């Protein structure tokens, strides 16, 4: 398999993101905007526990972004309705797998810090295995460990770089949104800020999708044929 450089990975992900920006914007409006509005009453005290099931609905949006990116990689652009339908069909398995992984990682970090770090990297592709390889629970975790094996340091390095770039983008956009929404009520400003950030972070979901596909399928990094993504329906 051709060596996967961080530069090529980001470049390919950016190309897919640009060609499908309307779809990603629509996902934010259909999934994330309503989710952030629903979360408004649960921002303090014990009420926060009720925000958990609402937040989990956000996985549908992330899954949809993964399906849109994968379809573009296959030069077969997908429509929004199909992406959301596939995402909804895998949502429960994604929730179950994420909860299982979260519990195991908490256990590993509390008892053994180093294994916690090691398995955080091994299990870095949780949602992607659920979405694209029809895996769930322990099967998804085992599959992800298998594709990372022998590339642990590479995946860690890329995770650090992409994490820093993501953080920089989030901080920059957050500052801009604070300025733009300063005259609006706080709740409205927070909802708009969170929705815009979901569009920005979709880029990095796309990049990780590309990385996952390269590792799991042994596909070379190459330019995706420029095709116009299907209009949201």
- Is residue 133 situated within a structural domain? yes
Cβ contacts of residue 106 below 8 Å, gap of 6+?
none
Q: Is 199 inside a domain boundary? A: yes
- Region label for 46, one of left (φ > 0), alpha (ψ between -120 and 50) or beta (otherwise): alpha
36 falls within a domain: yes
Q: Does any domain span residue 222?
A: no
Domain-located, residue 227: no
Which of 217, 202, 172, 190 lies closest to 62 in space, CA to CA? 202
In this prediction, residue 112 has a pLDDT band, given cuts at 50, 70 and 90, of low
Domain containing 41 equals 6-217
- Kindly report whether the global pTM for this prediction surpasses the value 0.85: no
Q: Is residue 170 part of a domain?
A: yes
Distance CA 93, CA 87 (A): 10
Q: Provide the number of structural domains found in the chain.
A: 1
Q: How far apart are the first and last CA of the chain?
A: 37
Answer yes or no: is pLDDT of 199 > 50. yes
Q: How confident is the model at residue 140 (pLDDT cuts 50, 70, 90)?
A: low
Q: How many CB atoms lie within 10 A of CB 196?
A: 20
Q: Is 20 helix (H, G, I), strand (E, B) or coil?
A: coil
Q: Domain for residue 103, yes or no?
A: yes
Query: What's the pLDDT score for residue 116?
Result: 55
Q: Is the model's pLDDT at 125 over the cut of 70?
A: yes
When pLDDT is cut at 50, 70 and 90, the band that residue 114 belongs to is: low
Is 225 a domain residue? no
């Amino acid at each position: 398999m051709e060596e996967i450089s961080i530069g090529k990975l980001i470049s390919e992900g950016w190309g897919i993101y640009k060609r499908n920006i309307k779809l990603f914007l629509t996902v934010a409006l259909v999934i994330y905007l309503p989710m952030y509005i629903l979360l408004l009453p649960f921002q303090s005290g014990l009420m926060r526990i009720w925000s958990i099931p609402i937040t989990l609905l956000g996985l549908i949006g992330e899954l949809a972004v993964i399906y849109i990116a994968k379809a573009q990689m296959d030069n077969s652009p997908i429509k929004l309705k199909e992406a959301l339908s596939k995402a909804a069909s895998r949502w429960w398995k994604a929730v179950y797998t994420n909860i299982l992984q979260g519990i195991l990682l908490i256990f590993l970090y509390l008892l053994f810090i180093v294994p916690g770090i090691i398995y955080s990297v091994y299990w870095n592709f949780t949602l992607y295995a659920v979405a694209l390889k029809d895996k769930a629970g322990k099967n998804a975790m085992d599959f992800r460990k298998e594709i990372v094996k022998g590339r642990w340091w590479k995946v860690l390095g890329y995770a650090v770089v992409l994490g820093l770039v993501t953080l920089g983008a989030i901080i920059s956009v957050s500052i801009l949104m604070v300025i733009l929404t300063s005259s609006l009520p706080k709740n409205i400003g927070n909802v708009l800020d969170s929705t815009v950030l979901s569009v920005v972070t979709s880029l990095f979901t796309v990049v990780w999708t590309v990385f996952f596909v390269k590792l799991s399928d042994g596909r070379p990094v190459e330019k995706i044929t420029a095709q116009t993504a299907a209009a949201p329906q």
